[in-house]
Amino acid sequence: MQESRLERRLKNEVEKVGGMAVKFTSPGMAGVPDRLVLLPGGRAIFVEMKAPGEPLRPLQAKRKKQLERLGFQSYKLDSVEDILRFIQEVQP
């Protein structure tokens, strides 16, 4: 499955639980996750979407660790199963 189709699935699944999955860019900082999932109750979670089996690039892995050290949740998702598991873990 293409990464773009997985991104649409993430967006749809997050909306089903009352949240938003917005495209996230940071012009001054490369390697940040490409989605910001906003959930009821003021929760913000970073998500990097990848094509099936594709690993994080080294800079993306570094940014993920930086965000986690700051106390944010950060996920790498590359399958429908990952998306459904993510929703189960984070749904309000």
DSSP helix/strand/coil, 38 = strand
CATH number of 3-90: 3.40.1350.10
DSSP helix/strand/coil, 14 = helix
Q: How far apart are CA 64 and CA 47, in angstroms?
A: 9
pTM of the model: 0.94
**Is residue 37 within 8 Å of residue 45, measured between CB atoms?**
yes
Q: At 74, phi and psi to the nearest 5? A: -145, 125
Q: Residue 9 gets which letter from DSSP?
A: H
The pLDDT of 34-62, averaged and rounded, is 96
Residue-wise pLDDT for 7-39, tens only, equals 999 999 999 999 999 999 999 999 999 999 999
